[in-house]
Amino acid sequence: MTPNQPLDTPHTSAYSCLCCSPNSLSPGPSRRGFLGLGAAALTGGLLAMSPGTSQAASGNYEAMLLNCIDPRFTTLSWQYMGLLHGIARDKLSDNYSQFVMAGGPIGAVHPKFASWHNTFWDNLDISVSLHHIPRVVALTHRDCGAAKLAFGEAKVATKEEETRAHAEALIAFRAAVNKRQPKLSVITGIMDLNGKVDLVG
């Protein structure tokens, strides 16, 4: 399937997994299916034995990242986590937890999204308990749909107004973390479409 192909459009490209292949719809097992399952099991076993492929579910990790669901910022946020001053990229690879919600920190504190708040704060508590994180990194971003819903279009109409509205939410987020988890350091910022982050607070 090509990236721009609609999901309901028939296609003839190779299937990537057994669960999506035509064989999964056949009435009985086939030799090809058994071979595929054997290869998958062997690969999984080898990965499990490889040193350094993953860490334990609990341990000492570097941070929790809270950011937005906007797909434009998935890679940019990962890159930023590797470029934080004093933190080498290789140290943060697979070494921070991540919570993604519409608006990121805005979603965690703004009254418009009140029904989401406890979910984030409970997850932060668990990350502190399991991962022993020393810091939270909270990123909003420019041109955010959730910010428009929360603040109204007029309050994000210009870069200056957008910065002011985001900064208020980020300051409120920092205060909430300080109240709930006073031992955590907090990094808050607004990410631009090119990945540059304007730190707040």
Q: Among the listed ranges 21-35, 112-126, 133-147, 171-185, which one has the minimum average pLDDT value? A: 21-35
In the structure encoding, which two tokens stand for residue 19, read together? Answer: 């669960």
Alpha-carbon distance of 79 to 180, in angstroms, equals 28
pLDDT at residue 170 in the model: 98
Fold assignment, 63-199: Beta-carbonic Anhydrase; Chain A (3.40.1050)
Q: What amino acid occupies position 109?
A: V
Q: State the DSSP H helix or E strand holding residue 188, giving kind and residue range, or none if neither.
A: strand 185-191
Residue 104's nearest CA partner among 54, 140, 75 is 140
pLDDT at residue 56 in the model: 66
Inter-residue contact 137 to 99 (CB < 8 Å): no
Tens-digit pLDDT profile for residues 143-189: 999 999 999 999 999 999 999 999 999 999 999 999 999 999 999 99
Q: State the DSSP H helix or E strand holding residue 117, giving kind and residue range, or none if neither.
A: helix 117-131
Alpha-carbon distance of 95 to 133, in angstroms, equals 10
